[in-house]
Amino acid sequence: MSKKFNNVWLYESALFIYFLYLEFNYLTNFRNFVSKIDVLILIIVLSLLASKEYITIYNNPLLNIKKSISGFFFLVIVFFAFKLNYGWQLILAYIFVLSARDVNIENFLKPFLIATLLVICATIICSKFNVIDSYLLYDNGRVRNSLGFLYPSHPAHLFFFWVSSYVVLKNKNIKYIELLILLVFDFYFYVNTFTKDPFVLTIILILFTLILKLKPNFLDNRTYIYISNISFIVFPLLTLVFLYKAPNSWLLLINRLTNGRVMYALNALNKYGVHMLGQNVQFITRGNATIFNQYDYVDSGYIQSLVICGALFTVMMLLLYTKVIIDANKNKQELVSIVLFLIAIYNIFDPSFIYLWYNPFILLCGSYFSNNIKHYY
């Protein structure tokens, strides 16, 4: 077995274990079981990552000083962003980002696809047989089923990123029957969870995948490339400008259409403010809301990142995402580009762009620390 193979295998193994842990712990009603093995998971994953890094450095002893310094400051910013909230679980996620500098996209999408499929299937099946709890949420006349997850929206969000990973890996070789099956499951999750955003975005992604299969150069135009290249800068700025500058009539209209998300975002910004580094924020979710503590969870990924993780971390991640989507367009990776563009839209209303338990495309940000971007694809 070659050292190069060992290097990739160690990374994939660590990531597979970590995806299973994150998703079972943060998204499902298995968390009471999984949380008991936190320390064991940390030891195993860190051991595998340390071994992977040893082989990487052994094979490439001449380190790039600029990249090494950048990596150090990257981890320092990450530490301050998450030390007061998610702790080692998310700090470790960004160690994976840094370690992804010498693996390709296939090496981290495959572990995500396998681990997430296991989590979705195990959670839904076990909830059907009452092995774990599931519940129905009555929300504005809709009945939403959690399917064994902690909240009804979780499986729908997770499925969007599973579909995104699947179509990126299959690329234009994906079959029509596969697209149809993905569409059927998208409707299944929507009918059960009534979660609109991932449902609509999954349909859009399937549609673009179909178009690119029929017309490979469909996205090869200056307008799309220009808009997508700046999407991770423009959409967060538009979100902030809208919240602070839009007329009250517009705010009320969008707030009503988005089930109060505008109000929650504004309240969080006014209550907690935006710090340069992270701060300790404990949002009140539907699971712990009372008559005295009203629900105040912020869904917007951009606003949540600013409030919880701080301005420095948020700007850093937006710049890294911008570099990733520019590189994807330069290297003619149309499906990677459209997935990232949809994620940029997604995060106006839903959090995902900083959480590895949903979004494996965060790991593409490790390309900044790589000496050869082309090996990623």
Contact by Cβ (8 Å): 259, 295: no
User: pLDDT tens digits for 136-192?
Assistant: 888 777 789 999 999 999 999 999 999 999 999 999 899 999 999 999 999 999 999
Q: Which residue, among 38, 39, 50, has the nearest Cα to 14 in the 3D structure?
A: 50
DSSP 4-53: HHHHHHHHHHHHHHHHHHHHHHHHBTTHHHHGGGHHHHHHHHHHHHHHHH
| Alpha carbon distance 348, 232 (integer Å) | 10
What is the number of other CB atoms lying within 10 angstroms of the CB of residue 234? 12
Per the structure block, which two tokens stand in for 377?
């694809």
What is the number of other CB atoms lying within 10 angstroms of the CB of residue 52? 23
| Alpha carbon distance 44, 17 (integer Å) | 9
Per the structure block, which two tokens stand in for 113?
């696809």
* 144 DSSP β-pair partners: 137
Which residue ranges in the chain fall short of pLDDT 50?
1-4, 291-292
pLDDT for res 4: 47
What is the enclosing helix (H) or strand (E) of 139? strand 136-139
Q: What share of the chain is helix, strand, coil (3-state, %, to 5)?
A: 70, 5, 25
pLDDT for res 86: 82
What residue has token string 């290297």? Answer: 331
Where do the H-state alpha helices sit in 131-247? 153-170, 176-193, 196-214, 222-229, 231-245
Per the structure block, which two tokens stand in for 337?
């580009």
| Alpha carbon distance 55, 53 (integer Å) | 5
| Alpha carbon distance 247, 329 (integer Å) | 36
Per the structure block, which two tokens stand in for 188?
């299944």
User: pLDDT tens digits for 6-46?
Assistant: 888 999 999 999 999 999 999 999 988 888 898 999 999 99
What residue has token string 């409707």? Answer: 187
| Alpha carbon distance 318, 316 (integer Å) | 6
Domain regions of the chain by residue span: 133-218, 220-377
pLDDT for res 258: 80
What residue has token string 């900044």? Answer: 368
| Alpha carbon distance 72, 369 (integer Å) | 11
Helix axes 88-99, 3-27, angle to 10 degrees: 150
What residue has token string 């990552």? Answer: 49
Per the structure block, which two tokens stand in for 104?
């390709």
